[in-house]
Amino acid sequence: MARYIFITGGVVSSLGKGLMAASLAALLQARGYRVRIRKFDPYLNVDPGTMSPYQHGEVYVTDDGAETDLDLGHYERFTGVSARQSDNVTSGRIYQTIIQRERRGDYLGATVQVIPHVTDAIKSFAQDQTEDLDFVLCEIGGTVGDIESLPFIEAIRQLRNDLGRGQSISVHVTLVPYIAAAGELKTKPTQHSVRELAALGVQPDVLVCRCEKPLPEGDRRKIAQFCNVRPEAVIAALDAPSIYAVPLQYHAEGLDEEVLRAFAIEPGEKPPLDRWSEITDRLFNPEGEVTVGVVGKYVGLQDAYKSLNEALVHGGIANKVRVNIRWIDAELFEGDEAEVAAALEPCHAILVPGAFGERGAEGKIASVRFARERRVPYFGICFGMQMACIEGARNLAGIEDASSTEFGPTKEPVVGIITEWMSDKGLETREAGGDLGGTMRLGAYPAKLAGNSVVASIYGDNEISERHRHRYEVNTGYRDALEEGGLVFSGMSPDDMLPEIVERPDHPWFVGVQFHPELKSKPFDPHPLFASFIAAAVAQSRLV
């Protein structure tokens, strides 16, 4: 029977509950336990799929096509366990499910209430598909005291009773602020936060205290005394130089040992953490550095490209170099070649990531042209692949009006909305005016690669599976014209209907992909495309 670790946060948001959960799972995994992490999000959106990246950061997509919270990306990157639909739920999805059941008459005329119907649905979600696990870590979004998270706190209170003694613990993440004027850390916010959580019926077993100064032993004992935990169960969490140093840092503070002791499990020998030591050694002792220009439209919030950022770091780990990311707003140099050159000339490689809408498109097309003409390594992801095709159509294939129907009516729809495709569910169809939420081509799909292609050599295989999140596709009716201009369609869907990868064999490194390879990259297993892209950037750095 799986044991449960419920993770809550207090005092303020953005304390790093997700990273703590991912790090703890990685440490337990290193000890030989089977783990899975789940996220409860209290907002009323059914999923983050229709939310602006500025509101919520990136949307993380799973193999089974779920649009989820970005924390699931951390979970995968730290554990290597593929996330799935059942690992993320929102209040919106819970209420949607309950209302649908009520409309069908499933409750047999009963009054539908938060308790027991909402809390029962949350508990059912937490326990779904856990038979083969040793530990299930459940992170509750938001901050203790928020109205939105109350049903989730009540649900875990009930679930702890349902599971029985020794089958669950509570880990509470709080802030111990440093007051410069007083020259000391203050424990009172943590005391109040724990008191608030205890008043809701959940007594923490382990406290993780975020602080910017080392936690004095006296303060540790004070927190333990007033919060009703053992002093050893008060874990200091200082800022780390890299998120990949966090597992080692938490282990040094004894987090994994205290969690096991809370379950009355003897920790035993130290876990093998060589994987994390090697990763941090490569990060902190690089043999060189490169600069990658990321030309996007959400560059004001780096969480909008969280997985992309990490995948570039992983590519650096694979090549033992530091990757300096130069975030460039695509709107700043639309139509001005001098500004394009000024922004991109310092870069050893250029990447155009996924996006939606026309804003910034011309700047991205200009970036593609710069990379092609100056022979700078170019990586186009999703929208970035589409812009590479439009650039090639306009400047090499003589199709001056080449555009995308995403931008409005066009005479030359090099990119158009995808209305049907084959999946493991059979033929899927969409309408241009349909709902936005959950209607894209989502999740893992296979692709076949041309045997003599650059990407086949990078993957070391002719068949791959990658995760998608898009509504528009490159129009194969323009394939001949684009290939005459040197842009080769080197990856296609198994039925040969949907373009998956384009490349320029005569270029040092020029690849566009319709999928999102960053979603599958991990620090201990960098995605081959990112490893190869950064290797090309290293080669480019030696030429300038």
> Annotated active-site positions, please?
382, 516, 518
Compute CA 277 distance to the chain's CA centroid, rounded to the nearest angstrom.
23
Residue pair 10/17 in contact by the 8 Å Cβ criterion? no
Beta-carbon count within 10 A of 84 CB: 18
Residue pair 537/290 in contact by the 8 Å Cβ criterion? yes
Amino acid letter, 489: F
Q: What's 422's DSSP letter?
A: E
Q: What's 82's DSSP letter?
A: P
Give CA separation, 442 vs 77, 379, 467, 515, in Å: 20, 21, 7, 10
Q: What's 410's DSSP letter?
A: -
Residue pair 35/138 in contact by the 8 Å Cβ criterion? no
Burial (CB count <10 Å: 0-12, 13-18, 19+), residue 259:
buried
Measure the N-to-C terminal CA separation of the chain; round to a whole number of Å: 59
Residue pair 523/317 in contact by the 8 Å Cβ criterion? yes
Q: Measure the CA–CA gap between 443 and 115, rounded to whole angstroms.
A: 34
Helical H runs in 200-254? 217-227, 246-253
Q: Measure the CA–CA gap between 195 and 202, rounded to whole angstroms.
A: 9
Q: Could you tell me what percentage of the chain is helix, strand and coil, using 3-state DSSP and rounding each to the nearest 5?
A: 40, 25, 35
Q: Measure the CA–CA gap between 282 and 284, rounded to whole angstroms.
A: 6
Nearest CA among 386, 442, 436, 384 for reference residue 410: 386
Q: Measure the CA–CA gap between 504 and 379, rounded to whole angstroms.
A: 11
Which helix (DSSP H) or strand (DSSP E) does residue 237 occupy?
strand 234-237
Pairing of strands 441-449, 463-470: antiparallel
Q: Can you read off the two tokens belonging to residue 378?
A: 């170019």
